[in-house]
Structure 1
Amino acid sequence: MKNLRVPRIQGASNLNNQDLREHLLAEGAQGELLHQPWDAFRRPEGEVAVRFSLAYDLGSIFALYRIREPELRAVHRELMAPVYEDSCVELFISDPENKRYVNLEFNAVGACLGGIGAGRGDRAWLPLSYLEKLKIWSSYQEGLAHGIGFLGTWELMVRIPLAASGLLGGVRDLAGLCLQGNLYKCGDKLRLPHYLAWREIDLPSPDFHQNRFFGPIEFMR
């Protein structure tokens, strides 16, 4: 897929988790993480699979990830913990000029890490007050509350108030914007680490902080 055309779902912020999930599956922009950029970490086709759905309303992005993998790691439970060591899905998205980008990373229990800046070596952590505004639902976390463990698949859904992140200046509505971004799956400390991406990354070793490989994400009016 060369670009994403993200539709608006009116009133998405007011939907409960079940209804929001259904709307994202029925109306959202759909995609898959088909690229495994690094041969040393390549898993057999179909062993790890990630589908995603994206939509927006006003200044917020809504993302649903559906993951299949043979192993789940969910050690970290706090905000700003190194969740990329666990079973982790990520969204990186830049301003229209692709000069700065936000990275948001989530493990299977909804712990989150986030930063903003021009590159790996030029970043600031997003404040906890911002991360606390994210609304995150995890099927695995919900299952644990009912005594159900990992069964080979999990889902994560998140509401991201992007306009409040400081990335877009005074923009309050994403309608009509064409940003740049990439979506990822990783797990640095899994027994068999893997790295999946929506857009291909042409580098010799794993590094998701490469906005030159981002692809267009257009927010439809």
Structure 2
Amino acid sequence: MNKRKYIVLCLCGFMMACKSEIHSQEKMLRVKEIEFKGQADLEEVSQLLEQHTELQAIDLINWDQFSYRPNVSFRIAHSNNAIWIKYYVQEKNILASIGDTNGPVARDSCVEFFLDPLGNGNYYNFEFNCIGTVHLAYGPGRGQRQFVDPKTIGKLIEVQSTLGSQTFTERTGDFSWELTIVIPAGILTHNPEIKLKGLESTANFYKCGDATSQRHYLTWNPVGTEKPDYHRPEYFGKLIFQ
């Protein structure tokens, strides 16, 4: 074996080992079912999540050039074929410039939930800025997204922020905010009649702020890309809906 071929084989082996290490870190989260008769309002959802679920951290820095780490965590459950999520954020800068559904909320103080219901590479990117403006699309990759109709989003998804719902320019200080969200399975428009109970999916949870003074990119499950890229379902963790 010549020296060049040996070096190439070593490099390939190293890259495969690195990729294998990232995938070996794949997280798994069992999503508890909370039984509730009738339609829970957002205050009840918040309280039930507090009572019956554990905090999960969104704290991984995958890209060293973006070292700022806000304190971010979430709770998740499902009930009556809807996903319940509550985010908790502590950060130095908050921004809420986007008020239109499906606008570029990732520029603001933003939390995100990417869900691949069937684990086949086709996923929904649920993105919420700190005042609850929703961005939602579906597809197999960043360049192949299909927006969900804003009217459908407004009708089905419920969001409540402790910061209210009015847009504002960046504020600097020490801020804490919470976001409670109800995502009914009906919003998964490309997977009609899907049942959450017993479903095994893949997903990732994120925090970002593209246009904030301290740009940052945190993830729940590790992402092994060279640059920040959340649209990579191969780096999603596992969600098992009990």
TM-score of the two chains, using structure 1 as the length reference: 0.89
Counting aligned pairs with the same residue, the percent is 29
Q: State which drifts further: 181-190 or 52-61.
A: 52-61
Distance (whole Å) between structure 1 residues aligned to residue 123 and residue 232 of structure 2: 10
Instruction: Give the match for residue 95 of structure 1.
Output: 117
Gaps of 5+ in 1: none
Decide whether aligned partners of structure 1 residues 140 and 70 sit closer, same or farther in structure 2, where only a CA change above 3 A counts.
same
Q: Conserved in 2, the CA contact under 8 Å of 1:101 and 1:167?
A: no
Render the CA deviation track for 1:122-146: whole Å, top value 9, x for unaligned.
Answer: 21011113211110000011799xx
Residue 76 of structure 2 is aligned with which of 48, 54, 67? 54
Distance (whole Å) between structure 1 residues aligned to residue 213 and residue 38 of structure 2: 37
Instruction: Give the match for residue 213 of structure 1.
Output: 235
Matched residue SS, 1:131? helix
Residue 74 of structure 1 and its aligned partner are, at CA, apart by 0.6
Q: Conserved in 2, the CA contact under 8 Å of 1:89 and 1:186?
A: yes
Instruction: Give the match for residue 73 of structure 1.
Output: 95
Aligned residues: 212
Residue 13 of structure 1 and its aligned partner are, at CA, apart by 6.7
Q: Conserved in 1, the CA contact under 8 Å of 2:131 and 2:166?
A: no
1:20 equivalenced with 2:42 (yes/no):
no
Distance (whole Å) between structure 1 residues aligned to residue 191 and residue 147 of structure 2: 16
Gaps of 5+ in 2: 1-25
Decide whether aligned partners of structure 1 residues 10 and 167 sit closer, same or farther in structure 2, where only a CA change above 3 A counts.
farther
Residue 177 of structure 1 and its aligned partner are, at CA, apart by 0.5
Moved over 4 A (4+): none
Distance (whole Å) between structure 1 residues aligned to residue 204 and residue 99 of structure 2: 24
The structure number with the bigger radius of gyration is 2
Render the CA deviation track for 1:171-204: whole Å, top value 9, x for unaligned.
Answer: 2x21101100000000000011000100010111
Distance (whole Å) between structure 2 residues aligned to residue 12 and residue 69 of structure 1: 36
Give the CA RMSD over aligned residues: 2.1
Q: Conserved in 2, the CA contact under 8 Å of 1:95 and 1:167?
A: no
Instruction: Give the match for residue 153 of structure 1.
Output: 176
Residue 78 of structure 1 and its aligned partner are, at CA, apart by 1.3
Q: Conserved in 1, the CA contact under 8 Å of 2:91 and 2:174?
A: no
Instruction: Give the match for residue 19 of structure 2.
Output: none
Decide whether aligned partners of structure 1 residues 170 and 20 sit closer, same or farther in structure 2, where only a CA change above 3 A counts.
closer
TM-score of the two chains, using structure 2 as the length reference: 0.82
Instruction: Give the match for residue 168 of structure 1.
Output: 191
